[in-house]
Amino acid sequence: MVEPTREHAFSYRDGVLCAEAVSLDALAEEHGTPLFVYSHDTLVSRFHRLRRAFAPLEPLIAYSVKANPSLGVIRSLAREGSGADVVSVGELERALLAGVAPGAIVFSGVGKRRDELEAGLAAGIRCFNVEVAEELELLSQLAVARGVVAPIAFRVNPDVDAKTHRHITVGRKVDKFGVPFEQAVALYRRAAELPGVDPRGIDCHIGSQLTQLDPFRQALARIGELVGTLRAQGLAIEWVDVGGGLGVRYRDETPPTIEAYAEVVRDAVSALGCQAILEPGRILAAPAGVLLTEVLYRKQVGEKRFVIVDAAMTDLPRPALYDARHDVWAVREGTPLIQGDVVGPVCESGDFLAREEQVPDAQVGERICVLGAGAYCRSMTSTYNSRPRAAEVLVRGDEVHLIQRRERLEELWAHERIPEFLGS
């Protein structure tokens, strides 16, 4: 098998696919399958590459926790100087527990509850990215009651089509995110009048898995116009949060390089004299992880061939949600390929990891793995069909660290109760 050019630490050694220096077969024997395997080296090396590309701007790089919220992943990046972009109180607490400094946390999200705003104020985070006019009013009241001032930015919707999958396009007028561009000036004026809030930045995020740079250019151009308008009216804008969204190669995509993306952002933000805040998630985490799974059965119906594995859409939801295509490799080098589907045990036709692809012709008991599974996979898993969630390991060189044990069956119903009237 010819390995495509990728930036990850998964390669064949002595005929066996390894994560850094550790055999995936050995990991399966010790920890079972399905199993998420992350490369520490890939995580930190991609973070450093991003930081180098943006160095002239001296940005705050706030890792998007929703991409992969495992404490071991967040901590790996925090040790290198990363902040965090969070969208819930749960993600906020995860970031703090993993060692992210409160002053390096930005709180995004279109539907922040009162208790979530309270938690952000109590922690003293860097910024609230406000997305609704009513949120601004509530945040002002809560901050005044607490005797603090909350730094804010409005997430402004620039009405730019990111040209990505419809479920991850978030910067058009018809999308639920952000405040309308034409209302932004009035909202900044209102924020400047209110006690307890301090409008200091602008936030803009248009989508995820973008494979073109023009949508970024268009959005940043509109944001630049808005900064000029606000400053002309006496409002100081100190930073521009450019969000995230740069795509990665899963199978045959050709996304821009980190360096090309950085050049577009640098040109736009440096001209404004603002600090940049970045919210990368997928570009750091996706290439750093694989989903390791074992073949249970093989089936052929006419010319249709199925490889049935113990992983499912409950572990890897992206193909079902986004029509996503991932590379699938055999753990044993030299395994031939067949045209077919890799499917799981879940009772849904949408339960597939690969469909009508060239996939490894692995035999029962052998293992295969899905690449690019470090982002939006474990974080989106479910227990549908009462399937326990998979374990996660972080590999550093020849070290293996269990960062999330496999969920036990009894934990699936541990918080459920049968009403007394139904009897025992």
Residue 260 and residue 361: Cα distance in Å, rounded?
A: 38
Residue 58 and residue 45: Cα distance in Å, rounded?
A: 18
The residue behind tokens 């992943």 is: 73
Contacts of 251 (CB under 8 A, 6+ apart): 325, 326, 327
CB-CB neighbours of 419 under 10 Å: 6
Residue 135 and residue 154: Cα distance in Å, rounded?
A: 10
Residue 122 and residue 143: Cα distance in Å, rounded?
A: 9
Sign of the torsion formed by the C-alpha atoms of 247, 248, 252 and 255: positive
Please give the structure tokens belonging to residue 93.
């607490």
Query: Which of 288, 284, 352, 276 shows the shortest CA–CA distance to 321?
Result: 352
Give catalytic residues, as residue numbers: 347
Residue 103 and residue 369: Cα distance in Å, rounded?
A: 38
